[in-house]
Amino acid sequence: MGPDMLRRDVPPRQAGGVSGAPARAAEHVTAGLGVEGGSDGVWFLVDPVRGRVRSTFFHNGGGWWKGVDPGGTVRKFFIGTEQDEPHMEMARRLCE
């Protein structure tokens, strides 16, 4: 339990996001997890039911992607430029 949880003057976080914002619909879904983000180069695999982040990944440049799969293992993949949605290919590979 983090230190915020012990302070009575700090309200509990709302389900759905670190900022307390309500969970929003995922752009796409793969392996039951929604893919969100991308505006700052980082994507998240989110459990759409609980609104919890299960995985994160980012484009490392030159076709290389790096992420943490839902089991906690750091993985790297090369995804060629011929992919229409390389972030979705990365999400699929992380869930395999």
Whether 52 has a pLDDT exceeding 70, the answer reads yes
Task: Tell me the average pLDDT of the chain.
Answer: 75
Q: What is the pLDDT of residues 15-47, one digit of tens each?
A: 334 444 444 444 566 667 888 888 888 999 888
Banded model confidence at residue 10, pLDDT cuts 50, 70, 90: very low
Instruction: Break the chain into its structural domains and give their ranges.
Output: 23-95
Banded model confidence at residue 65, pLDDT cuts 50, 70, 90: very high
Structure tokens at 38: 């991308």
What pLDDT is attached to residue 64?
95
* Residue 86 DSSP one-character state: H
pTM: 0.65
Q: Is 43 helix (H, G, I), strand (E, B) or coil?
A: strand
Task: Say how many C-beta atoms besides its own lie within 10 A of residue 58's C-beta.
Answer: 17
Burial class (CB in 10 A: 0-12, 13-18, 19+), 94: buried
Report the C-alpha gap between 94 and 55 in whole angstroms: 8
Residue with the bigger pLDDT between 65 and 20: it is 65
State residue 43 phi and psi, 5-degree precision: -115, 160
